[in-house]
Amino acid sequence: MSKVCIGGAGVLCACGAGKDALWNGLQTGRSYFTLPKDRVNSSLADRYPVFLIPSQDIPCGPGSLSLRYFLAAAQEAFSQAGVTPQQLAQMRTGVCVGTSVDASFHCFDTYSRWTNKNCLPQDVEIMQDYFSSSTALAVARRYGFKGPVQTVVTACASGTDAIGLAASWLEMGLCDAVVCGGTDEMNLIPYDGFIRLLISTKEKCKPFSKNRSGINIGEGAAALLLLSEQAARQLGVRPAGYVLGYGNACDGYHPTAPDPQGKGLSKAISTALEQAGLTAQNLGFVNAHATASQANDAAEAFVFNRLLPGVPVTATKGVTGHTLGAAGAVEAVISLLCLNHGQLTPTWGFEEEDPALSLVPVRQNTPLAHPCALSCSLAFGGCNAAVILGAANYGG
| Vertex 233: Cα angle to 232 and 238 (nearest 5) | 60
- Say whether 115 sits in a helix, a strand or coil: helix
Q: Is the alpha carbon torsion for 191, 195, 199, 200 positive or negative?
A: positive
395 in a structural domain = no
Looking at residue 31, its pLDDT comes to: 98
42 in a structural domain = yes
| Cβ proximity of 139 and 152 under 8 Å | no
254 in a structural domain = yes
Looking at residue 115, its pLDDT comes to: 83
E strand or H helix at 225: strand 220-227
84 in a structural domain = yes
368 in a structural domain = yes
Mean pLDDT by 10 residues, the chain (396 residues): 91 98 97 96 95 96 90 98 98 97 71 82 74 84 96 95 98 97 94 94 97 97 97 97 97 84 95 97 97 96 97 98 98 98 97 96 96 96 95 89
- CATH number for the domain harbouring residue 125: 3.40.47.10
Looking at residue 110, its pLDDT comes to: 80
Per the structure, the count of domains in the chain is 1
Domain containing residue 383: 4-390
Looking at residue 179, its pLDDT comes to: 98
Distance, CA of 161 to CA of 177 (rounded, Å): 17
Looking at residue 15, its pLDDT comes to: 98
396 in a structural domain = no
Looking at residue 132, its pLDDT comes to: 57
Looking at residue 111, its pLDDT comes to: 76
224 in a structural domain = yes
365 in a structural domain = yes
